[in-house]
Amino acid sequence: MEALIIYTSLTGNTQACADIVAEALEKLGVDVDVQDVYDSEVEDFYDYDLCLVGCYSYGGHGELPDEIMDLWEDLAEVDLHDKVYACFGSADDFYPIFGAAVEDFEAHFEKSGATKGAEGVKVNLNPEEDDEVRLTKMAEDIVNTYKHLNS
């Protein structure tokens, strides 16, 4: 089983989440690649079974960061029906709309036909111990969903 995590991170919090998810997937025997969105395009997902996006929320009203807009728009246009996806991202509960980037990406993965493999995980700022537990569970869930679909 192979996984690609595409992420964007301004101050490192979402990147830390991506590292936790990658490590958890590797412990489950998954081959994992982690790519910055600047080095990525949506077609990169074609070569993987598990497709993950990590994205922080921005703009004061939960907007997506500029650098990930192309990926988000393209996601709605491709066919990923044989893939399983999960989304996560850091955010700040100071803002009235907390971590909306996660739902924005889930909506476009749904348009791609991919199957949701785990509940999205929103992390308040830097991931702490309880977040690590939730991100690790996300990794376990997406693997189990893929196995279930392909058994």
Ligand X SMILES: Cc1cc2nc3c(=O)[nH]c(=O)nc-3n(C[C@H](O)[C@H](O)[C@H](O)COP(=O)(O)O)c2cc1C
- Report the interface residues with ligand X, using CB under 6 A: 9-14, 56-62, 90-92, 95, 97-99, 125
Instruction: Give 55 or 139: the residue with its C-beta nearer to ligand X.
Output: 55
Q: Min. distance of Cβ 104 from ligand X in angstroms? A: 11
Long-range contacts of 95-99 (CB under 8 A, 24+ apart): 95/57, 95/60, 95/61, 95/62, 96/61, 97/57, 97/61, 97/62, 98/57, 98/62, 98/122, 99/57, 99/62, 99/123
Is the Cβ–Cβ distance between 76 and 111 less than 8 Å? yes
Instruction: Give 33 or 98: the residue with its C-beta nearer to ligand X.
Output: 98
Q: Give the integer Cα–Cα distance in Å for 15 and 35.
A: 10
Q: How many CB atoms lie within 10 A of CB 16?
A: 19
Instruction: Give 51 or 68: the residue with its C-beta nearer to ligand X.
Output: 68
Q: Min. distance of Cβ 99 from ligand X in angstroms? A: 5
Instruction: Give 36 or 77: the residue with its C-beta nearer to ligand X.
Output: 36
Q: Min. distance of Cβ 86 from ligand X in angstroms? A: 17
Q: Min. distance of Cβ 37 from ligand X in angstroms? A: 11
